[in-house]
C-alpha cells in the first residue's frame, strides 16, 4: 500500500543584532537518521556563505536574510535562502541560493541530477529559456550563452524554476531573473526517481 509522505517541519531561528536581522531555516523530521542533520548543515553553510564576512571597523554592512519554502512534498524539500546586504551606495545587493533535497537521505541534488543520463537537458532548457527571454522582451546585458554546470534552480509544485542572480542577465532594475518551466514540458528527459520526477502525476 502506498503511503503519503509526511513533510518535515521547517522552523525558523531568528538572529537579531545591530545591523543584522536573519531568519534561518531548521528542518525537523520524525524519521531518525542522518538526513535531517545533513540538510541543516548544508542550509547553515549556504546561509553563512551568502552573508559573507563581517564588516571591518571602518565599514558599513547591513544584512537582512530569510528563506522561502518552494516545495515540501513527496519527500522533496526545495528551499531558497535570501540575503540582502547593504554596504553603502545607491542600493544593496540581494542574493539567493536554493537547495533541493531528498528528505529521506538528506541528499542535495544538482540540476543535472534531475534528468536522465545523456538526456541533453542543457539544450532543452536553453531553448526554453531563450524563448521566454524573447517572449518577455527581457533587456539582456549581454547575449545569453546558456545555463552553467552549477546553475541555480528550485522546484515549485510542478515546475522547475531556473534563475539568475542580479546582473547575470539583466539590469539591476529587473531584479533576479526567473524562468519557470512546467515539469510536463520536460517529462521525457526527467529522472523519474529524482525530485523533479516525483512531481509528475
Condensed to tens digits (0 to 9), the pLDDT of residues 50-85 reads: 999 988 877 889 999 999 999 999 999 999 999 999
pTM above 0.85, yes or no: yes
Which CATH architecture describes the domain 1-108?
2-Layer Sandwich (3.30)
Containing 146, the helix (H) or strand (E) segment is none
Strands 62-73, 20-28: pairing kind: parallel
CA atoms within 13 A on the CB side of 120: 4
Strand, coil or helix: what is 192? Answer: coil
End-to-end Cα, the chain, rounded Å:
17
Name the class of domain 111-201: alpha beta
Distance set, CA 35 to CA 30, 105, 106, 181 (Å):
11, 5, 4, 28
Cell digits of residue 55: 564588516
Instruction: pLDDT tens for the chain, 201 residues: list them.
Output: 345 678 899 999 999 999 999 999 999 975 656 789 999 999 999 999 999 998 887 788 999 999 999 999 999 999 999 999 998 888 899 999 999 999 999 999 999 999 999 999 999 999 999 999 999 999 999 999 999 989 999 999 899 999 999 999 999 999 999 999 999 999 999 999 999 999 997
Domain boundaries, the chain: 1-108, 111-201
Assess whether the region 1-108 and the region 111-201 belong to the same CATH fold.
no
CA atoms within 13 A on the CB side of 176: 18
User: Residue holding cell 532548457?
Assistant: 125
Condensed to tens digits (0 to 9), the pLDDT of residues 122-137 reads: 999 999 999 999 999 9
User: Residue holding cell 540581494?
Assistant: 94
Q: What are phi and psi of 127, to 5 degrees?
A: -65, -45
Kindly compute the dihedral angle of the four CA atoms of residues 162, 163, 164, 166, in this order, to the nearest 10 degrees. 180
User: Residue holding cell 547575449?
Assistant: 143
DSSP assignment of 57-84: TT---EEEEEEEEEEEETTEEEEEEEEE
Instruction: Round to whole Å and give the CA distance between 66 and 155.
Output: 18
Strand order in the sheet with 177-182: 153-156, 159-164, 177-182
- Bridge partners of 10, per DSSP, are 27
Give residue 190's Cα distance to chain centre.
18
Amino acid at each position: 500500500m502506498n503511503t503519503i509522505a509526511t513533510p518535515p517541519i521547517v522552523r525558523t531561528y531568528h538572529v537579531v543584532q545591530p545591523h543584522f536581522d536573519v531568519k534561518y531555516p531548521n528542518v525537523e523530521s520524525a524519521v531518525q537518521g542522518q538526513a535531517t542533520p545533513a540538510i541543516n548543515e548544508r542550509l547553515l553553510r549556504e546561509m553563512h556563505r551568502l552573508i559573507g564576512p563581517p564588516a571591518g571597523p571602518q565599514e558599513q554592512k547591513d544584512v537582512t536574510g530569510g528563506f522561502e519554502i518552494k516545495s515540501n512534498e513527496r519527500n522533496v524539500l526545495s528551499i531558497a535562502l535570501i540575503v540582502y546586504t547593504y554596504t553603502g551606495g545607491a542600493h544593496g545587493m540581494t542574493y539567493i541560493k536554493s537547495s533541493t533535497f531528498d528528505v529521506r537521505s538528506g541528499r542535495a541534488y544538482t540540476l543535472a541530477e534531475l534528468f536522465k543520463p545523456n538526456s541533453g537537458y542543457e539544450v532543452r532548457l536553453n531553448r526554453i529559456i531563450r524563448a521566454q527571454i524573447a517572449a518577455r522582451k527581457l533587456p539582456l546585458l549581454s547575449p545569453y550563452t546558456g545555463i552553467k554546470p552549477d546553475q541555480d534552480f528550485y522546484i515549485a509544485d510542478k515546475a522547475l524554476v531556473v534563475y539568475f542572480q542580479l546582473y547575470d542577465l539583466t539590469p539591476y532594475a529587473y531584479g533576479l531573473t526567473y524562468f519557470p518551466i512546467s515539469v510536463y514540458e520536460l517529462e521525457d528527459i526527467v529522472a523519474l526517481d529524482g525530485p523533479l520526477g516525483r512531481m509528475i502525476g
